[in-house]
Amino acid sequence: MTLNEAELENFCIKLNEVLSIKKFPKVITDIQYKNTPLFLRYGGFKSHYRLSESGIKIFQIQDENGNWTDDVRQVGHYAPAWIKIPHFLQANFASNKKGEQAIQIEQINLISRGTKSLVFSAVFRGAKVIIKRSIKQAIIDEAGRDSTIRLQHEIDILKQLQDLSNIPHIVNVIKNDSSLTLIETFAKGMPLTELFNNSPINVNQRDQLITKIVKSLENTLEKIHNHNFVFRDLAPQNIFYTSTGDVFLIDFELTEKINQANPLQGATPGFADLRHGKKTKSFAVLNEDLFGLGAIEFYLATGIRPAFPEALSTIDGYSLVSKLITAADNICKTVVTGQIAQSGIKKIGTALNYNFSSELSENNQLKNSDLSKEIIDNAARYFGNKLRNQISSNHFNSSLDKGLSGILIGTSVLMKHTNVEPYIMSLYSQGMDNLIKNTDSYENISLINGSISNMILFGINNCQDELTTCLNSLLLYPLFKVPLGLFHGLAGMLLTCSITFKYASDKSRDKLSRLIKK
């Protein structure tokens, strides 16, 4: 629909009469029609765009000559010079621009646009800055606080922490009747979300880097706490790692005085104590930073955001802690990352008032939780069913891959970690009997589908006669004909012999040593 100026003004009058809205947020990039909830913008409504060199969509509109030009959405009541402002809007437009206290900025780039605010990067007075702009009456919380109140709160916090070097410093603050703007120094470094994505890094360097980040973060939090504040929003996107080896924290909107009542609410899932999907803290407490620091340690050590379902609904913390322990046990590949993950889990558990005594061993390491025991018990029952099927099968298969040997080895490992049910132990004994009766030759050295894998079971179950028979056969085997592979060759054979050596008798160990040397 195309309207001329008179038709557009008449349309605004009638639409305002229909709306009858008394409270509404100000749209800071558009032109307000009088003192109404109607805002007009110069931009296009069709999604025409070009791609920047980095592949980002930049939306465009047509100028007066029909040429496509970038749809710039600058801070303030901005419109390109070639845009003709309708006469009935010009007075409002001029008034709004005057109230904006024009910001002398360059190279503006939109970082995020939300219902409550806009965030830009820009150059102000020759330095790179971040610009945060909040709109009045947008996103009002239960206590009647809108986004400008939240931003003013952040400004007040930053003023009290300006002696800290690794947080944003205030450059300028601009207020008017409809919005609040904070210009702050640009964040130094790289956010943790991108830290390990940009270049290859070896294990030792990664461990050193993680250790350095954790130590610097602890030191920074200690300084904030010494100022009697709780940061309350520790999340990877709010933590930057700098070239000097320190961390740089951003986004102090949720920061509060320690024990402050009715604090501002907000959280990043997995990095805050969320009960039933939201924060329920009626006071700002240090445990919020303890939980966040623990979650950051877990994230750095494992690469996983700990936003499990248990993190959003758990009451006593038990389920979350158990799941974190299991995940860390399976993911952490080095002693350093294991220790950092454990440290993080302990902090999370402490913040949830969860007692860790049952999960700590003598060397202060986290052991398998009851959840891990439940997994082991379920696995034992699974192997028990497989054993029953193999024993009753008319097509007996003794291979490690899909047969009885593999099931028996799996069951024997589980039996060492839990008290399996009596019927599983009975099935295990029957399975060993069947294995011994149905293994006629030990000359197939394939680890996957041959009989050599049975050596481990013979050693574990003290079947020394069967082990001796197997070794006598293998000592006569022409090993020069055997390939080097793990599954079907010498590597698998040596692996089997090495594991069996642990369980064998002295007599069998002598034969195993001769076989390994051969």
* Inside any domain, residue 174: yes
For the ranges 72-81, 165-174, 257-266, 421-430, the lowest mean pLDDT is seen at: 72-81
46 shares a domain with 124: no
208 shares a domain with 65: no
Q: What is the pLDDT of residue 195?
A: 82
179 shares a domain with 76: no
Q: How many domains does the chain have?
A: 4
Query: What CATH number does residue 284 fall under?
Result: 1.10.510.10
Give the residue from 367, 398, 420 where a domain finishes: 367
Q: What is the pLDDT of residue 103?
A: 53
Contact 57, 49 (CB under 8 A): yes
HSE-CB for 150 with a 13 A CA cutoff: 26
Residues in Cβ contact with 357 at an 8 Å cutoff, skipping those fewer than 6 apart: none
28 shares a domain with 150: no
Give the residue from 48, 79, 101 where a domain finishes: 101
Angle between helix 335-351 and 318-331 (nearest 10)? 170
* Statement: residue 174 has pLDDT above 70: yes
507 shares a domain with 493: yes
Whole-number Å distance between alpha carbons of 259 and 230: 9
Contact 282, 261 (CB under 8 A): yes
HSE-CB for 84 with a 13 A CA cutoff: 5
216 shares a domain with 90: no
The 10s digit of each residue's pLDDT in 279-330 is 556 788 999 999 999 999 999 999 999 988 777 766 567 778 888 888 898 8
Whole-number Å distance between alpha carbons of 92 and 263: 38
For the ranges 297-301, 396-400, 506-510, the lowest mean pLDDT is seen at: 396-400
Tokens coding 43: 């931009």
Tokens coding 450: 């041959």
Q: What is the domain range of residue 90?
A: 1-101
* Inside any domain, residue 269: yes
What b-and-e string marks burial along 341-352, b requiring 16 or more CB atoms within 10 Å of the CB?
bbbbbbbbbbbb
Q: Global pTM?
A: 0.55
* Statement: residue 59 has pLDDT above 50: yes
* Statement: residue 274 has pLDDT above 60: yes
233 shares a domain with 145: no
Whole-number Å distance between alpha carbons of 146 and 367: 47
Tokens coding 98: 């005057």
* Inside any domain, residue 380: no
148 shares a domain with 91: no
Confidence of residue 233 (pLDDT cuts 50, 70, 90): very high
Average pLDDT over residues 376-385: 76
Give the residue from 315, 350, 367 where a domain finishes: 367
Q: Give the max Cα distance, the chain.
A: 106
